[in-house]
Amino acid sequence: MKTGLVLSGGGVRGIAHIGAIKALEEHGITPDIIAGTSAGAIVGALYAGGNTPEEILHFFKSVNPFSISNYAVNKPGFVNSEKLYPHFKAVLPQDTFEALKIPLVVTATNILEGTLQVFRKGALIHAVIASAAFPGIFTPVRIGDDHYVDGGTLNNFPADLIQQECNSLIGVHVNPFEKVALKDLKYFYNVVERSFQIRSAMESMTKFSMCDLVICPEDLGNFSTFSMREMDKIYLLGYTATNKALATSKGKALMKAL
C-alpha cells in the first residue's frame, strides 16, 4: 500500500499542515509520497527532509520573511525571495529532491510562459521558494533561464500529480473559501489575496474527489494569508481537524486499509 499526502497552499494558514502531520503520525500514518504547493511545499519539503512537526513549527516561528533585511530593492515584489535561501539551506543542507527521505512533488508557475512547472528531482530549495512566491509580494524566483511564482496560481491542490501513484490519498486543504464583508477589503493586498483565494478554491475543490480523505480545518478563515501571529492556534486547528477526520467513517475505513 502506498499512501500519498497532498498539502495545499494557504500562506501562514499552511501551519495547519504541521498539526495535521502530527495527528497522522500519532495514528501511525506516514506518507510514502507528498505533493505540495506554496506553504504546502514548504511543510512537505521540511517533513520529507526528516524534520519533526515540532522542528517545522519552530522553523516557521524563527523565519520572518517580512523582516526589513529581506525587503526587495528595484525588484518586482516587496520581499526578495533569494534572501530566504540561507534559512532553508540550514535545515535542508543537501538541497536536492533525491536526498529527501520521502519523495516530494512541488508545483510552481512559470510567470513568463504562463505554464505549470512540476518539480520532483534536482535542486530542491529554489523550487520550494518558487512554489511559495506569492505574486506581487515575493519576487519571482529564477531557476535556469526561467522565472517562477507561486504554484497555487495554477494548481493549489496537486492531488492530480500523485493520484495514479497511490493506493490511498489524503488531502489537507487550508485555503478556506467563505463570504467576506466589504470592510475586510480595506487595503490592496486584501483584494489581491481575496482574488487569488477565489480562483484557487474553485480549482482545488474539483479535485477533492481524488482523495480518500480530505481534511479542511475549520475557522482558518479567521487568519490572514500573511499574518505571522497565532501560529500555535493555526497548528492546533490542523491537529484537531485531522483527529476529527480520522474518527469519521471515511477516516476509519482509510486507517483499516493502510
Secondary structure of the chain as H, E, C letters = CCEEEEECCCHHHHHHHHHHHHHHHHCCCCCCEEEEECHHHHHHHHHHCCCCHHHHHHHHHHCCCCCHHHECCCCCCCECHHHHHHHHHHHCCCCEHHHCCCCEEEEEEECCCCEEEEECCCECHHHHHHHCCCECCECCEEECCEEEEEHHHCCCCHHHHCHHHCCEEEEECCCCCCCCCHHHHCCHHHHHHHHHHHHHHHHHHCCHHHCCEEECCCCHHHCCCCCCCCHHHHHHHHHHHHHHHHCCHHHHHHHHHC
**pLDDT for res 75:** 83
Please state the φ and ψ torsions of residue 113, each to the nearest 5 degrees.
-95, -15
Map grid coordinates 479535485 to a residue.
Answer: 207
Amino acid letter, residue 127: A
Residue 35 pairs in a beta bridge with 6, 105
* The total number of structural domains that make up the chain: 1
What is the overall mean pLDDT for the chain? 92
Q: What is the mean pLDDT of residues 36-52?
A: 98
Top pLDDT among 47 and 199 is at 47
Kindly state the average pLDDT of the residues 120-130. 98
HSE, side-chain direction, 13 A CA sphere, residue 198: 7
91-95, 174-178, 197-201: which is most confident: 91-95
CATH classification at residue 73:
3.40.1090.10
Give tens-digit pLDDT for 230-247.
Answer: 999 999 999 999 999 999
Q: Inform me whether the pLDDT recorded for 6 exceeds 70.
A: yes
Cβ atoms within 10 A of the Cβ of 240, count? 17
Q: Give every CB contact of residue 212 below 8 A, 6+ residues apart in sequence.
A: 168, 169, 170, 250, 253, 254, 257
CA distance 70 to 78: 9
Looking at per-residue confidence, does 222 or 79 come out higher? Answer: 79
The pLDDT tens digits of the residues spanning 186-196 come to 777 677 767 76
Angle between the 39-48 and 53-62 helix axes, to the nearest 10 degrees?
130
| pLDDT at 199 > cutoff 80 | no
Q: Say if residue 42's pLDDT is above 70.
A: yes
User: Mean of the pLDDT values across residues 48-67?
Assistant: 94
User: What is the distance between the alpha carbons of residues 61 and 234, in angstroms, rounded to a whole number?
Assistant: 12
Q: What is residue 129's predicted lDDT score, i.e. its pLDDT?
A: 98
Crossing angle of helices 15-26 and 53-62, rounded to 10°: 170
Residue 8 has pLDDT above 90, yes or no: yes
Q: Confidence band (pLDDT; 50, 70, 90) for 228?
A: confident
- Rounded CA gap, 171 and 153, in Å? 18
Q: Going by DSSP bridges, is the β-strand pair 3-7/168-172 parallel, antiparallel, or unpaired?
A: parallel
For residue 184, the model assigns a pLDDT of: 66
pLDDT in the model for residue 69: 76
* pLDDT for 179 beyond 70: no
β-pair partners for 108 = 117, 150
- Is 116's pLDDT higher than 80? yes
Range of the domain at 181: 3-257
Q: What is the pLDDT of residues 12-21, one digit of tens each?
A: 999 999 999 9
pLDDT tens readout for residues 72-107? 787 887 799 999 999 999 999 999 999 999 999 999
- In this prediction, residue 257 carries a pLDDT of 86
Copy the grid coordinates of residue 154: 495554477
